[in-house]
Amino acid sequence: MTLTTMTDLHDLHDFIRRLPKAELHLHIEGSLEPEMMFELARRNGVALPYASVDAVRAAYDFTDLQSFLDLYYAGAAVLQTEQDFFDLTMAYVRRAMADNVRHAELFFDPQTHTVRGVPMATVFAGIAGALRQARADHGFSSRMILCFLRHLPEADAFATLDAALPLRTEYADLWIGVGLDSGEVGNPPEKFAGVFARARELGFHVVAHAGEEGPPAYVHGALDVLKVERIDHGVRSEEDPALMQRLAQSRMPLTVCPLSNLKLRVVKDLRDHNLARLLRAGLCVTVNSDDPAYFGGYMNANFVATADALALSSKEVVDLARNSFLAAFVTEDERRRWLDELQAFSA
Ligand code: ADE
Ligand code: ZN
């Protein structure tokens, strides 16, 4: 590498770090760092199957989505009290703010907690308490998206929605949408047609994981049956040219998570990732961290690694950040403010 290109790279990394951006695909349970896992296990008297923080990190050698989910659900067992959810969320917000994330939309999986006897109200209160404090203290903007676990029956998703609805008024400033996550293959969007119809009638925004490990047909299903407003991941859409055209023409946002795709072996090497091709084909692509504590990096780490691996230009990096604000579930005033900030930054 020549000195000039090294300087250029350094400049681009610095540019990425300072770039205002939004994160739209972040599972708050996936931001549980091993250090906090140990701390909460101690606080709550939970036994962990690991001897040390290093042993936890060493176990994060995933072969596919399910091999990750097994550890992710086990790790979440240390989350028990409102304070636990507050601490987890505040730790994420600090990392996000350090990466110049202006706005974050947090996925949370209530079923992972209610099945262990943690009340729905505890989960909401802890997460929302931290998000409200971050807004009051730092102007950090956020929303919450309740995700249904797709490996469980649709009836369980209905029960989860019903259990959460009494809290809707209290958390109207934050809880604005529902999503669909967990093991994709064998659990197509159509399985959740009824509960998504109900969520839409109630006025919630709707999103779904599709085309992460599942085929393009699942992306079609999420669009046609669930009528989602964003596709989470969606990288396998590239296998279907008609779907690519549809996504480009509609500017349907894709919340792509490059380091997640690498760690879960959706791609073998980041240089094989199709993010740049999707962007250059006119799709509304965004960069996100998914489960940063498990996949080795928060927002800026995802941006930097992707920009390096795919030789993204500074204009493309700005396009990715602009897409994140365009795709966010916020008021037009908020969107305008961040787009103006981005414009001033990149001028
Ligand atoms: N839950 C947390 N992370 C996930 C992912 N990447 N895909 C599906 N479900 C998830
Ligand atoms: Zn995800």
pLDDT number for residue 8: 83
Categorize the per-residue pLDDT at 2 as very low, low, confident or very high, splitting at 50, 70 and 90: low
Q: What are the backbone angles phi and psi of residue 253, rounded to the nearest 5°?
A: -65, 140
Please give the distance, rounded to the nearest whole angstrom, from the Cα atom of residue 4 to the centre of ligand 1.
Answer: 39
pLDDT number for residue 198: 99
The neighbouring-strand residues paired with 179 are 147
Radius of gyration of the chain (CA): 19
Domain spans in the chain, listed from the N-terminal domain onward: 3-346
Over 80: is that where the pLDDT of 6 sits? no
334 is catalytic: no
What pLDDT, in 10s, does the model give residues 278-336? 999 999 999 999 999 999 999 999 999 999 999 999 999 999 999 999 999 999 999 99
Q: Which residues line ligand 1 (CB under 6 A)?
A: 27, 30, 65, 72, 181-182, 209, 212, 260, 290-291
What pLDDT, in 10s, does the model give residues 51-68? 999 999 999 999 999 999
Give the integer Cα–Cα distance in Å for 218 and 347.
39
Query: Mean pLDDT over all residues of the chain?
Result: 97
Please give the distance, rounded to the nearest whole angstrom, from the Cα atom of residue 120 to the centre of ligand 2.
Answer: 21
What pLDDT, in 10s, does the model give residues 85-104? 999 999 999 999 999 999 99
Nearest CA to ligand 1 atom 8: 182
pLDDT number for residue 140: 98
Nearest CA to ligand 1 atom 1: 182
pLDDT number for residue 7: 72
Residue 234 CA to chain centroid, in angstroms? Answer: 13
What pLDDT, in 10s, does the model give residues 132-184? 999 999 999 999 999 999 999 999 999 999 999 999 999 999 999 999 999 99
DSSP for 265-295 reads TSSSSGGG--HHHHHHTT-EEEE--BSHHHH
Q: Give the H/E segment covering residue 104.
A: strand 101-108
Asked if 190 and 162 count as a contact pair (C-beta separation under 8 A), the reply is no
pLDDT above 70 coverage of the chain, percent: 99
Residue 119 CA to chain centroid, in angstroms? Answer: 23
Which residue is catalytic, options 23, 212, 213, 316? 212
Choose the residue to mutate in 26, 32, 185, 209 for probing ligand 1, maximizing ligand atoms within 8 Å of C-beta.
Answer: 209
Give the integer Cα–Cα distance in Å for 161 and 159.
5
The CATH-assigned architecture of domain 3-346 is: Alpha-Beta Barrel (3.20)
